[in-house]
Amino acid sequence: MPKDNLLTFEFLSLCFITFAAVCNVSVFYNFHLYLQGIGLSGKEAGFIIGLYSLSAMVLYVTASQLIRLNNSVFCMLAGIQLVVGCGVAYLFAQQFWALVIVRIVNGMGMFLVMASCMVMLVAIIPQEKSGLAFSLYSVALLLPYSIVPAVSEVLLPLVDKPTTIYMLTACLLLPAVFLVMSLRTRVRNRFLDLEKKRVGIPCRNSERKNLLRRPVVAILLVNGIYFIIFSSLFYLFEGFALAKGMRNPGYFFTTQMGVMIVIRLLGGRIFDKFSKVGLVSIAFILTGAGFVLLRVMPNQTWLLPISVLFGLGMGLCIPPLNSLMYLNTNPEFRGYNANMMMLVLHVGSFMGSFFGSWIIDCSGYDHFLVIAAILAVGAAGFFLAVNPANEIPMSLGN
């Protein structure tokens, strides 16, 4: 494989598998309201939503270092089976504890799929195109949030309950099995030699030292804040829109994600050419401004411009963050650190849905929007102050 070749069968396959997997996250955009509709309180609903991320968090902490290129295909296939099985189980799970079990298993399945994808991804991307690679890969992460809520809004009147759509979405992962089987031989023949060049599984002490480096801690913290903000907006916006008398709230995310996708498709190379720290800081400032405007907007006509602003802010953030982590990490820890980024994604998703629900229950949507704006602007200031780009080792930099 040429050193600078990015759009390979392996890369595109991982993008499709990721897209199909994340569809099974984004389809739950209305899960909070569904759970309240079957008799759960807002806090119970927030807890159950967060359990998916909580179970994945535990596995990212305890099992990330165990997923390697030589077992990633097996782990991915096991994860697909669990996710599809949970998609069917939502049709029958109505009680609190049944939903708790389904969400935990769902999180386990998504961990196996996404962690395996990330281990393969960091093994195949060219170092000099890390920003572009993460930009394109993030399109696969974003497309479901743009497509699935809008499609669900169209399909909801045609089905008895949202769980039917959850089940149908899980079935999207079934075609991915054929891609995974194709990857099996390619991974074994082409990339397994990368594993042989490394001395076993990095020891716990080395992993700890790697994670405690200042730039790594800063990147993980800011990544977590991003997903606290992202998940709280995603899971709780529909309730906010209904409280404000807005119609078709799913199209807010279609517009927002559409802008994010355009930025990452057409402007992907800017993530390798411009200051990554500057781009992340600008992203958080724009996102904070979006929350302020949601707080003060007088009517629904403001909603489309605000969704565009959120798209600009959130579209600029993740590729440079992932690229900074890649460049700040020694090769033997890149797969592990990439999965630590996924860990804090789930930490942020859990905290965003759970504490966002708690804030809204206690003090309403207006206070939630103010707190989210403060958190975003604070993250921008912190990242500028720490500036992880200053500590990229010369041997790993661009």
Residue 159 included in any domain: yes
Rounded mean pLDDT, 212-234: 88
Distance CA 276, CA 322 (A): 10
The count of structural domains within the chain is 1
pLDDT value at residue 88:
93
How much of the chain exceeds pLDDT 70, in percent? 87
pLDDT value at residue 185:
72
- Contacts of 306 by beta carbon, 8 Å cutoff, 6+ apart: 290, 293, 294, 297
CB 120 within 8 A of CB 14: yes
Looking at the predicted structure, is the pLDDT value of residue 365 above 70? yes
Looking at the predicted structure, is the pLDDT value of residue 127 above 70? no
Distance CA 132, CA 151 (A): 29
Residue 2 included in any domain: no
Rounded mean pLDDT, 104-133: 82
Phi-psi group of 267: left, alpha or beta (phi > 0 → left; psi -120 to 50 → alpha; rest → beta): alpha
Question: What angle (nearest 5°) sits at the alpha carbon of residue 313, between those of residues 259 and 369?
Answer: 115
The torsion angles phi and psi of 32, rounded to 5 degrees, stand at: -60, -45
Residue 171 included in any domain: yes
* Per-residue pLDDT band at 1 (split at 50, 70, 90): very low
Q: Tell me the CATH number at 115.
A: 1.20.1250.20
Which of 70-74, 226-230, 235-239, 382-386 is predicted least confidently? Answer: 235-239
pLDDT value at residue 222:
92
Find the domain containing 321 and state its range.
Answer: 9-194+201-388
Distance CA 117, CA 183 (A): 11
Residue 1 included in any domain: no
Give the best-scoring range by mean pLDDT among 123-132, 196-205, 366-375: 366-375
pLDDT value at residue 397:
44
Residue 394 included in any domain: no
Residue 274 included in any domain: yes
Q: Tokens 């990439």 map to which residue?
A: 338
pLDDT value at residue 120:
83
Q: Which helix H or strand E contains 221, and what residues bound it?
A: helix 214-243
Looking at the predicted structure, is the pLDDT value of residue 25 above 50? yes
251-to-169, 184, 226, 290, 369 alpha-carbon distances in Å: 19, 38, 21, 16, 20
Average pLDDT over all residues of the chain? 81
Residue 206 included in any domain: yes
Distance CA 85, CA 339 (A): 24
What DSSP string describes 287-311?
HHHHHHHHHH--SGGGHHHHHHHHH
pLDDT tens for 242-282 read 777 777 666 787 788 788 888 877 766 677 777 888 889 99
pLDDT value at residue 79:
94
pLDDT tens for 158-169 read 888 889 999 999
Looking at the predicted structure, is the pLDDT value of residue 122 above 80? no
pLDDT tens for 297-345 read 877 778 889 989 998 888 888 888 888 888 888 777 777 788 788 788 8
Q: Copy the structure tokens of residue 55.
A: 């179970």
pLDDT value at residue 205:
63
pLDDT value at residue 301:
79
pLDDT value at residue 266:
73
Q: Global pTM?
A: 0.72
